Amino acid sequence: MPIPNLEKPIIKGLIEKEKVVVDGVEVDGTWNAFMIERTQTGYDPSVWDEIAGTLEGATISACWQCGTCTSGCTMREYDPNYSPRRFIDLARKGDKESLIELQNSIWRCVSCQKCTHRCPKGVLVEEVVHSIHNYLLKHGLVQTDPGTVFDELFLDVVMKNGGRISELTLGGASAKAGFVTLSLRDLISMSGALLKSGLIKDVMKPSRVKDWDKVKTVLEDAMKEEIKPEDLQANIRYQVVPQ
């Protein structure tokens, strides 16, 4: 299997040969790199099974480790340890220990979807990585990360403000959580700009979704459900109208 150049430095036991002949054909480039054969033990195969059994992680089995997702990942410029290919590899092996070592990186996906669009095997990479992250959180293997804390704050604000975001409430909650500073000087500065733009009314009293109480009940019930891939397939079959 060819090893992407950007991942060679983090692979242990990599062998690179100057000349390799396979079935009479001389190969070069990335095809010259090989991993030392070894036996791996102590891994948990149930990790793969559980992730593949979720709606987000259902395509994990299609990954063939080409590394196209990682080579185009926009997050790697900021965090060299962020590697969708590696996260998927470790999850399929059930290597919990290595995944835990990467807990400060695995939550950093910005959902740009570049990895998913480039995948030649149709793996929903962004969703699979989220599923791996959710697995670690669900089993208490990693601490709650800043991204998850902010997601929960955002959802809480939307649910309490009639289905709309409230910049004022979210700003206050974010400041309380330590994500931003919100000094008196900041408030005065923002208030001036909001008054000039005429948006101050929307900030002080954000609009609500029509019939929000009914919508909220449906959303709360939906968030309690854990949808499985087979449930979605069954629903799709149910909706097909016979010819």
Say if residue 4's pLDDT is above 80. no
pLDDT in tens, 180-232: 887 888 878 878 888 888 777 777 788 889 999 999 999 999 888 877 777 76
Q: Which residue(s) pair with 35 in the sheet?
A: 14
> For 149-188, b where at least 16 C-beta lie within 10 A, e where not — what string?
eeeebeeebbeebbbeebebbbbebbeeeeeeeeeeeeee
At 85-109, the pLDDT tens digits run 999 999 999 999 999 999 999 999 9
Predicted model pTM = 0.71
Domains and CATH numbers, the chain: 45-143 (1.10.1060.10), 146-208 (no CATH)
**pLDDT digits over 152-187, tens only?**
999 999 999 899 888 888 888 898 888 888 788 887
